[in-house]
Structure 1
Amino acid sequence: MKRTLMSFLLFLLFLALAAEASKDPIDYEIWVRLDPAKKMLQGRETISWTNTSRDAIPDFWFHLYWNAFKNEKSVLMSEARREDPSGTFNGDTRVPDGGWGWIDVEKIRLADGTDLTAAIQFMSPDEPRNRDDQTVMRVKLPKPLLPGETVKLELNFKARVPRTISRSGYYHNGYFIGQWFPKPGVYQQGKGWNCHQYHLNSEFFADFARFRVHITVPNEYVVGAAGKETARKNDSGRKTSTYTFEQERIHDFAWTADPDYIKIERDFIAANEVSPAEYREIAGTLRLPLEAVKLPDVKMILLINPEHRAQVERHFKALRMALKYYGLWYGPYPYAQVTLVDPPFRSRSGGMEYQTIFTAGTQVLPSPQANHPEMVIIHEFGHGYWYGLAASNEFEEAWLDEGINTYSTGKVLAKAYGSGALPLTLFGIPLTRYSGALTYTDKESDRAAAIQVATTDPVVTTTWKFYDSMSYALNVYMRASTCLNTLENLIGKEVMLRVMRAFQSRFRFRHPTSKDFIATANEVSGRDLNWFFDELFFSTKEWDYAIDSVSSHEIKTSRGIFDGQGKKSEITARAARELDEKNKKPVYRSLVRIRRLGEARPGPGVKLKIITAFEDGTKRTNYWDGHGRWTEFSFTGASKIKYAHIDPDNVFLIDRNLSNNSFIVKANMAGTMRWTGKLLFWIQNLLQFAASMS
């Protein structure tokens, strides 16, 4: 009873924190018109921004993301060419002539009419400096904005829609429009504006806001956007339609338009998706009142291309599974609707997340055995929680979004679908129709990728300071996910679920950091886990323990001179042999030697488990703190060792080489078993590579 009461009080505290966070500092109203013939946007924007800090703020900083696509001297393009001159890896940065995009702020003024346009400056806050980049704009205010004061700004802007780059732009008549309007940075008390330039590997960071956006397009276009459609007006003279969308408590706004979209609406009805027993089970696990885990009904909107219409049911089922399990585990979805977009053909805008709207991606001939497009749908929806609600800084700590969401995606896929066939294709034809036996879970594929990059960069690295895009991707997605799965093994599934729920609840509509996640994990688990993050998130240490050797030798009678009964006597080789022949119960001395091959080590109170099995069926369990470079365990008994295994429960999934964690003592099989383990290890890596390239 006391535990339930405490849980309920904590739940009320989370609601109070959420209510406090609802005082969002920004209010937007934006009018935008799409001219498909010229690939242009013409926009007008009003911003009401309140200084919630204790600082007097002398200026205002904006992101102008589309200027990253203006020319090859921008930060994003420069990084792409420096890393990959051929454009093979970062293919969507190969811009065809006429395909460039940009954004110009034509006028900016205060609500009282004071013109600030002449005060516009382009800034280069990030190292190394790039003075040619125009993705960050600063405007000096006539006088500092004092704490609690509100500034109202009016902007006129125009933008050239790029041929799709970084999953935003157009292909033929299909548009996905993201990061398209002048967007303020985040003001951090005592630090100033957090407003990074647009980098090759970076995503975004912004404050929560209320949006009211009016989108004007030709009549034949079907439009989807963040938020709820609240109005639509047709202009018969201009043959255009203006859609109005509104949404509170989101920090970005994206939209899409395509004349070929088929729009289908359905409802997620919680009572049909979640049983009373499931509610009771999750409430018990999370130690929360039953009402705190109940899910709301949600309007589901699907915009799908005609050639994919046969996959409507697969799309809706995956979205229902995402709403159900993210909601049960991490907290109810707080918005009234969600829009799932099957992106325009060849638009390269698939797999992109925004709050209340996201893109998936599929094929004309998907395999029924592969969890695709299900994985993409669940993953991109999940970003609505990790980055969407717990709005971390993706520029500086991308793992808080990508890593946590990759971990969460794997959990939902395993629960809802189980293992899936490897999504291999050849010329668009799914090979899984013929090789469905090659199944895998996300946890397995994540680990295969994660172990490749431990020594390259720490997981917690500023996005543009990773060695390259591959290190960025494998670290913040797969390595972070594998580390979180390892943490789950270490503290237990139920405790880990409570950690994740507490983190999401406490930091909804806020800007959490890595320190916040670690503090939550420490508190909820009741353990000091700082060592875990120091070793595996903040360093380039590799985790690798190995059974180095195993041996068993019969204890023979010793030769030599021995004292006894007041005299010395010699046991000769012959005498020793005769004594041994009389011994009908030989005794063996066995030795297991273990090495630490990596630099990462367990923290205080954490022991590595070693199982030693003997031929007579007995087993011995030992523990080692893993701090030294090696250790050994000696046994004396009537049976030889059959095998030895360190970490037999596979707690530490992040171990570099699982094939050396065990050693089987059998002369005719030892080599075969070890080579088989290594072969499976490399097959796993090969399959992961193939999946990433398909």
Structure 2
Amino acid sequence: MKIKHLQASFAALFLASAANAAPAFDDKFRQLEELLPTPNETRTASGAPGHRYWQQRADYRLRATLDEAKRSVTGSGTVTYTNNSPDTLSYLWVQLDQNMFRADSDNRRISTLPSREAWQVRGNNGGNDGVKFDTLKATLEQQRFDGGINIISVTGADGRALRHTVNKTMMRIDLPQPLKPGARVSFNLAWTINIPEANVVGRRTGYEKFDDGNDIYLAAQWFPRMAAYYDIKGWQNKQYMGDGEFTLEFGDYDVQLTVPADHVVASTGELQNPDAVLTAAQRDRLRQARDAKKPVVIVTQREAEAAEKGRSKATKTWHFKARDVRDFAFASSRKFIWDAQAIKSGDKDVLAMSYYPKEGNPLWERYSTAAVIHTIEQYNKYSFDYPYPTAISVNGSIGGMEYPMISFNAGRPVKDKKTGELTYAKGIKYGLISVIIHEVGHNYFPMIVNSDERQWTWMDEGMNSFLQFLAEEAWEEDYPSRRGEARNIVDYMRSTNQVPVMTNAESTLQRGNNAYAKPATALNVLRETILGRELFDFAFKEYADRWKFKRPTPADFFRTMEDASGTDLDWFWRGWFYTTDAVDVSVDGISEYTVSSKDPEIEKAWQRARKQAEPISITDQRNKGMPRRVDAHPELKDFYNANDDFTVTNKDRNKFVEAVEGLENWEKALLKEGKHLYLVDFSNKGGLVTPLVVEIETKSGKKTIERIPAEVWRYSPKQVTKLFITDEPIVSLVQDPYWETADIDVNNNAWPRKATPSRLELFKTERDPATGNLMRDFRTPLKKPAEKSAEKKAGE
């Protein structure tokens, strides 16, 4: 560190100087108006819905039968579509998402893997390439499976056939009369759908086979659903290829599901006919659950096991109704145990419920319903009160998928090899709690805050992952969260295999990192480091409240957060959401200054001390003791030989008197304070501007944090120099000491530089004996045998 004595004017000291600006100025703080749509009467500049905001409505009356032998659903029903738009519509678009399993689907035809290596595995003999069993099985089963929604008929309210055209995963219905603004139309549908095997072909829907001959059916996208029509997009009729999820309209559902008589059905909505499908004992338990403080088992394990063995050939019809939902899903199985517990959400009574097979215990009976309740309690804090009468978690082999009031969640114990008892590892436990929080949390985003998932995955997955992180933090201390902390995203943000978050759902790379982890992390950084919790929480809650039961776009979110927080965040949205830049701030240099008192007695003593602190030159060292002329001839010495450059003269004293004569008393006092001033050079190597969070440690061991807003980069986005003033010398300085900004290289964050601890691996290289070519590396960490055994056991 350079140490200098400052003689310059005091005004210049307190400016944070911008270092050499780049020849072409890159304005990281330019406004987003060039990218965002122009505000209008539908969507305002503040981010709120405009006074002419509108959205369509679709109400359904559906009847369906589950054929367990054929593993299919046959359905029929009436859709009533209300045109609340200012536009006249001559046709309607309907989603047939399960057509992704048809042979002519885009999804089937474009199916690829990222590289040849993804298909290949190396045999133990180091020889031929091969295809993994599960990869080949899935590919063959997809080709064999007769998938898709088979449309039997489309008729008008008068029973006459309506002209319709199926285009892969979309169907257009041509209306006999144009649908005017404010008008509604009803049409009838009949269809069948084969249910895929979830573990092999299924995606978000399917059946799971058990060794006892029974199945669990998870039914989603099982009926033709109205596509969305809205002001920004018009018809959202982009083909469904698997990743861009669902964009739907709100409506009321009246659904009757006919299933084997010994099945238990979990569903969107409220059960309308418990007398017809439940025993008297089960109905009594359900009533008890409405006031219960802990889960009440509605269908017991003993009852489920009896049903598993009985396999009734009769049927029962379960009747459900749901209001103001955008979709409808259900699960059905004779294997289900069912428990329920009441929770208050605002002034609403909600039943939190779980459905699971005996194979899910003891994990599910302990954690599932508790996790559902915890989710509602936590999400209510940051958004709005959960408005629906039920919230359901169902155990099935589908990893995690969400629908209004119901979610499908994987995760079960495994049998201990020695005792045969069901047990679970730590990862299974917390994985289950996390997936339930996440999927139940989707009721808020996007089931109520109804963003366009087909277009912007991050608007539901990223926001929900952020709230999931907050809920996990509230579950227990040191919860093993995967997403949310800034430090967990740095590997992704330093990689080159990225696309901006603002990329269409079907074009994202590394979907989990791009659409879940990065936006969740961005929101956490915004909350903790940039806005602070109070401003952020108010603004986020305002966004949720403004757009519940409506369809927001990214612009509505960005604008609302700025409007409600009173903070210009365009630089933040641009960097985190529109680019692949990363945070990488380097501490490049530091210079120390102390203020000159102008008093020659003090200043020349300071200069003498500095001179004496300098190392003696090698020449002076070697010349020490050599004969000198002035020593041999003392008459050559005069005044300057008796006094050095640091001797105070009357001239110096008179100059000091003249200098301080015109100063105010406060200026004289400032000269005597003895402050230490440091100019610290920071460079932005990652491209993403960020607040500076600087920890300063001084000579006495005292540590302080200086938080400098990101606007410090506004004049020079590549390099800045910041002034720090302390009472005593600085001994160390660290940028981002808590790893809160997602800085991808902490090695350059400190002065003086700190060594980074790591582990050395020894490895040897094998060569092909025939050709002499390098084959592969066998790397062996420097670990003791005991460490290896412990790691192997933990991995199992």
Q: TM-score, normalised by structure 2?
A: 0.66
Q: Distance in 2 between matches of 1:237 and 1:676?
A: 62
Does structure 1 residue 334 correspond to structure 2 residue 409? Answer: no
Does structure 1 residue 495 correspond to structure 2 residue 544? Answer: no
**Residue in structure 2 matched with residue 583 of structure 1 by the alignment:** none
2:80 to 39, 48, 52: 48
**Residue in structure 1 matched with residue 195 of structure 2 by the alignment:** 161
Q: Distance in 1 between matches of 2:228 and 2:505?
A: 17
Q: Secondary structure at the match of 1:520?
A: helix
Q: Deviations over 1:507-545 (max 9, x none)?
A: 111101111111111111111112211121122222211
Q: Deviations over 1:465-495 (max 9, x none)?
A: 22x3x1x221110000110011102111122
**Residue in structure 2 matched with residue 480 of structure 1 by the alignment:** 519
**Residue in structure 2 matched with residue 230 of structure 1 by the alignment:** 272
Q: Secondary structure at the match of 1:599?
A: coil
Matching residue's letter, 2:682:
I
**Residue in structure 2 matched with residue 247 of structure 1 by the alignment:** 322
**Residue in structure 1 matched with residue 334 of structure 2 by the alignment:** 259
Q: Distance in 2 between matches of 1:227 and 1:169?
A: 20
Does structure 1 residue 36 correspond to structure 2 residue 68? Answer: yes
- 1:103–1:81: structure 2 CA closer, same or farther, 3 Å change rule? same
| Between 454-463 and 515-524, the greater mean CA deviation after superposition | 454-463
CA contact (8 A) 1:610 1:644 kept: yes
Q: Secondary structure at the match of 2:400?
A: coil
5 Å matches for 1:395-410? 395-410=454-469
CA contact (8 A) 2:388 2:405 kept: yes
Q: Distance in 2 between matches of 1:588 and 1:154?
A: 81
CA deviation after TM superposition for structure 1 residue 373, in Å = 1.4
Q: Deviations over 1:287-317 (max 9, x none)?
A: xxxxxxx353311221011022322121122
Report which of the two structures shows the higher radius of gyration computed on alpha carbons: 2
Aligned-CA RMSD value: 4.1
- 1:386–1:190: structure 2 CA closer, same or farther, 3 Å change rule? closer
**Residue in structure 1 matched with residue 300 of structure 2 by the alignment:** none
**Residue in structure 2 matched with residue 599 of structure 1 by the alignment:** 687
Q: Secondary structure at the match of 1:532?
A: helix
CA contact (8 A) 1:341 1:358 kept: yes
Matching residue's letter, 1:296:
K
Q: Secondary structure at the match of 2:560?
A: helix
Q: Unpaired segments of 5 or more residues in structure 1?
A: 1-15, 124-133, 271-293, 423-439, 560-568, 580-585, 684-689
Does structure 1 residue 631 correspond to structure 2 residue 663? Answer: no
**Residue in structure 2 matched with residue 11 of structure 1 by the alignment:** none
CA contact (8 A) 1:483 1:654 kept: no
Q: Secondary structure at the match of 1:113?
A: coil
CA deviation after TM superposition for structure 1 residue 205, in Å = 0.6
Q: Deviations over 1:133-156 (max 9, x none)?
A: x10111222221111111111011
1:608 to 682, 685, 692: 692
Q: Deviations over 1:360-406 (max 9, x none)?
A: 22221333585231111111111000101101001111111000110
Q: Secondary structure at the match of 2:323?
A: strand
- 1:631–1:499: structure 2 CA closer, same or farther, 3 Å change rule? closer
Q: Distance in 2 between matches of 1:570 and 1:401?
A: 84
Matching residue's letter, 2:694:
I
5 Å matches for 1:160-559? 160-164=194-198, 165-172=202-209, 173-189=215-231, 191-231=233-273, 239-269=314-344, 294=346, 296-311=348-363, 312-343=365-396, 347=397, 349-364=398-413, 365-367=423-425, 371-421=430-480, 442-443=484-485, 446-448=488-490, 450-452=492-494, 456-466=498-508, 468=509, 470=510, 472-489=511-528, 490-549=530-589, 555-556=610-611
CA deviation after TM superposition for structure 1 residue 24, in Å = 6.3
Q: Distance in 2 between matches of 1:576 and 1:500?
A: 66
| Between 44-53 and 626-635, the greater mean CA deviation after superposition | 626-635
Matching residue's letter, 2:425:
S
Q: TM-score, normalised by structure 1?
A: 0.75
Q: Secondary structure at the match of 1:66?
A: helix
CA deviation after TM superposition for structure 1 residue 18, in Å = 14
- 1:238–1:18: structure 2 CA closer, same or farther, 3 Å change rule? farther
**Residue in structure 1 matched with residue 305 of structure 2 by the alignment:** none
- 1:24–1:120: structure 2 CA closer, same or farther, 3 Å change rule? closer
- 1:636–1:421: structure 2 CA closer, same or farther, 3 Å change rule? closer
CA contact (8 A) 1:17 1:506 kept: yes
Q: Secondary structure at the match of 1:201?
A: coil
Q: Distance in 2 between matches of 1:376 and 1:93?
A: 24
- 1:142–1:622: structure 2 CA closer, same or farther, 3 Å change rule? closer
CA deviation after TM superposition for structure 1 residue 497, in Å = 1.2
Q: Distance in 1 between matches of 2:640 and 2:733?
A: 36
Q: Distance in 1 between matches of 2:726 and 2:566?
A: 41
Does structure 1 residue 77 correspond to structure 2 residue 108? Answer: yes
Which structure has more RCO (C-alpha within 8 Å, separation ≥ 6)? 2
- 1:84–1:327: structure 2 CA closer, same or farther, 3 Å change rule? farther
CA contact (8 A) 1:167 1:352 kept: yes
| Between 304-313 and 62-71, the greater mean CA deviation after superposition | 304-313
- 1:202–1:555: structure 2 CA closer, same or farther, 3 Å change rule? farther
1:61 to 68, 76, 93: 93
**Residue in structure 2 matched with residue 105 of structure 1 by the alignment:** 151
Q: Distance in 2 between matches of 1:299 and 1:19?
A: 36
- 1:661–1:296: structure 2 CA closer, same or farther, 3 Å change rule? farther
Q: Secondary structure at the match of 2:485?
A: helix
- 1:443–1:618: structure 2 CA closer, same or farther, 3 Å change rule? closer
| Between 91-100 and 351-360, the greater mean CA deviation after superposition | 91-100
**Residue in structure 2 matched with residue 127 of structure 1 by the alignment:** none
CA deviation after TM superposition for structure 1 residue 90, in Å = 11
CA deviation after TM superposition for structure 1 residue 676, in Å = 5.6
Q: Distance in 1 between matches of 2:679 and 2:485?
A: 34
- 1:659–1:380: structure 2 CA closer, same or farther, 3 Å change rule? farther
- 1:657–1:300: structure 2 CA closer, same or farther, 3 Å change rule? same
CA contact (8 A) 2:493 2:580 kept: no
Q: Distance in 2 between matches of 1:600 and 1:139?
A: 48
2:173 to 139, 152, 175: 139
CA contact (8 A) 1:34 1:40 kept: yes
Q: Secondary structure at the match of 2:362?
A: helix
Q: Distance in 2 between matches of 1:148 and 1:160?
A: 37
CA deviation after TM superposition for structure 1 residue 455, in Å = 6.9
**Residue in structure 1 matched with residue 666 of structure 2 by the alignment:** none
Q: Deviations over 1:170-211 (max 9, x none)?
A: 122221111111111111248531122112321111000111
CA contact (8 A) 2:54 2:85 kept: no
Matching residue's letter, 1:299:
L
Q: Secondary structure at the match of 1:385?
A: coil
CA deviation after TM superposition for structure 1 residue 17, in Å = 8.8
Q: Secondary structure at the match of 1:327?
A: helix
